[in-house]
């Protein structure tokens, strides 16, 4: 009797561990970010590969696209995908100077896409 109870308990524990776990659905990317990805996929592969990150900056979601190469500006978009600044890059490496605190104050980095070709 004890062996049967133990056996049934073991089966119940094993079965419960195989139940489908709820997974978080990925947050859909804004249309304009999807359009950037489509655009980058049509271009030649850059070195380093193109990528898009999201951050929280001053309480708002922003999208950061690192510069494709030397002496180019990186791009920083707001949640509507309007360019708000070029936080780094260019000849000085300091961007356009509009938001000099971005690199220090950004939070919650998430890599949204990276060219893997």
Residue 3 predicted with pLDDT over 60: no
What is the pLDDT, as a whole number, of residue 2?
A: 55
CA distance between the termini of the chain: 61
What is the pLDDT, as a whole number, of residue 8?
A: 45
List, in sequence order, the alpha helices (H) in the chain.
2-17, 31-42, 102-105
Lowest mean pLDDT among 19-28, 77-86, 104-113: 19-28
Residue 43 predicted with pLDDT over 60: yes
Mean pLDDT of 60-71: 92
What is the pLDDT, as a whole number, of residue 75?
A: 96
Residue 7 predicted with pLDDT over 90: no
Structure token digits, residue 50:
């193109």
């Amino acid at each position: 009797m004890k062996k049967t109870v133990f056996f049934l308990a073991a089966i119940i524990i094993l079965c419960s561990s195989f139940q489908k776990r709820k997974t978080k659905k990925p947050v859909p990317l804004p249309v304009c970010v999807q359009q950037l990805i489509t655009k980058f996929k049509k271009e030649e592969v850059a070195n380093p590969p193109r990528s898009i990150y999201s951050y929280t900056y001053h309480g708002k979601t922003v999208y950061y696209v690192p510069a494709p190469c030397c002496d180019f500006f990186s791009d920083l978009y707001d949640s509507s995908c309007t360019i708000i600044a070029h936080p780094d890059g260019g000849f000085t490496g300091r961007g356009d100077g509009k938001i000099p605190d971005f690199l220090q104050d950004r939070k919650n980095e998430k890599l949204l896409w990276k060219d893997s070709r």
